[in-house]
Amino acid sequence: MFKTRITEMFDLKYPLIQGGMLWLSRAELVAAVSNAGGLGILSAATFLTREEFQKELKRVKTLTAKPFGVNIPLFPALKPLDIQGYIEAMGEEGVTVVETAGRNPAEYMPLFRERGIKVMHKVTAVRFAKKAQEIGCHAVVVDGFECAGHPGEEDVSSTVLLPAAVDAVDIPVVAAGGFADGRGLVAALALGAEGVLMGTRFMMSREAPMSDNLKEYLTTLTERDTMFVLRSLRNTARVIKNDVARKVAAMEGEGATIGDLIPLVTGSREKEVMETGDISRGLLHCGQAIGLIRDFPPAAEIMEEIMAEAAGAVARLSRSGKTP
């Protein structure tokens, strides 16, 4: 059920993709998603050197023989990443899919092409989707306003952004931002997507290396418990509403510079939050879909449940479409 151009392109059983997540998308989670029939995506930026990254790629390969991808963020970084090194390592380890994000990957396209790596670029606006198609990307992920991480600056929700992008490009479009269950999958497919990429739902999986206490706390939150930070720097991020996020937003209101904000927003604090489970230590990227999530089972169970719920939703819709 639900064969699409994305399931064909990446050789998947299900049209489900786990989005790259800094600190969380490590070998165990990636392999669990791929083994269960979706596409797991390793976060390259979690590994600061090419050597560490390549070691993790080898680890994924010991855990799954299924296809998996790598996320390479091209956002402005304080410490430049060894993008070329990551790509060379991917080539050596036979990785065939990359998820790029943050900025147009045009300058890296020849390196991907030479290695036969398919490029799925994540965008937050229709014009960026068109650009991705123009430079030869194989698919686009459209990240709506609801998403964890960086939704862009234009605040268009998935229900509008997704079909607008589907109408604008011929390459397959993957829906992201606000999808966490089978109803969402069916809705995304109805809007023209050929797959769904989820971050927040997979952050709430057993294999995501984050404290169980924190996951437990997150099951109690609602769709109202996230907020934006860093809008003043045009680098908006959706995070859990906590004291650190409120402080960052207040400082931005008073004209804080990136230098003023770094001590609060630095990624190492998020790592500390994840490891200790103490949400007061920093920011935590999270989507509005957290309000739909009440548990953190193994990734395979999440995926089976989504597929069963989606089949149920389709059956319900087809029954209601028939005249009695």
- Contacts with ligand FMN by CB under 6 A lie at 19-22, 24, 43, 45, 71, 73, 101, 122, 143, 146-149, 176-179, 198-201, 203, 285-287, 289
Give least dist CB 64 to ligand FMN, A: 19
Q: What Rg do the C-alpha atoms of the chain give, in angstroms?
A: 19
- Residue (274 or 313) nearer to ligand FMN, CB: 274
Tell me the closest approach of the beta carbon of residue 99 to ligand FMN, in angstroms: 7
Q: Which amino acid is at 308?
A: A
Locate 262 and state its tokens: 């770094």
Minimum CB distance to ligand FMN smaller for 105 or for 178: 178
Tell the smallest beta-carbon distance from residue 319 to ligand FMN (Å). Answer: 29
| Least CB distance to ligand FMN at residue 1 (A) | 22
54, two tokens: 């390549």
> What count of other Cβ atoms lies within 10 Å of the Cβ of residue 323?
3
Question: What tokens were used for 129?
Answer: 């989707």
Instruction: Tell me whether residue 298 or residue 316 sits nearer to ligand FMN (CB atom).
Output: 298
Smallest separation (angstroms) from ligand FMN to the CB of 41 = 7
Nearest residue (CB) to ligand FMN, 155 versus 260: 155
Residue of closest CB approach to ligand FMN: 199
In sequence order, the 6+-apart residues with CB closer than 8 A to the CB of 192 are 162, 163, 166, 167, 173
Of 19 and 38, which CB lies nearer to ligand FMN in the complex structure?
19
- Please say which residue, 143 or 252, places its beta carbon nearer to ligand FMN: 143
Distance set, CA 312 to CA 1, 32, 162, 185, 315 (Å): 12, 24, 23, 12, 5
* Residues 6 or more apart whose Cβ sits within 8 Å of residue 146: 157, 158, 177, 178, 238, 287, 288, 289
The least CB distance from residue 69 to ligand FMN, in Å, is 11
The SS3 of residue 34 is: helix
- CA separation for the pair 148, 286 (Å, rounded): 4
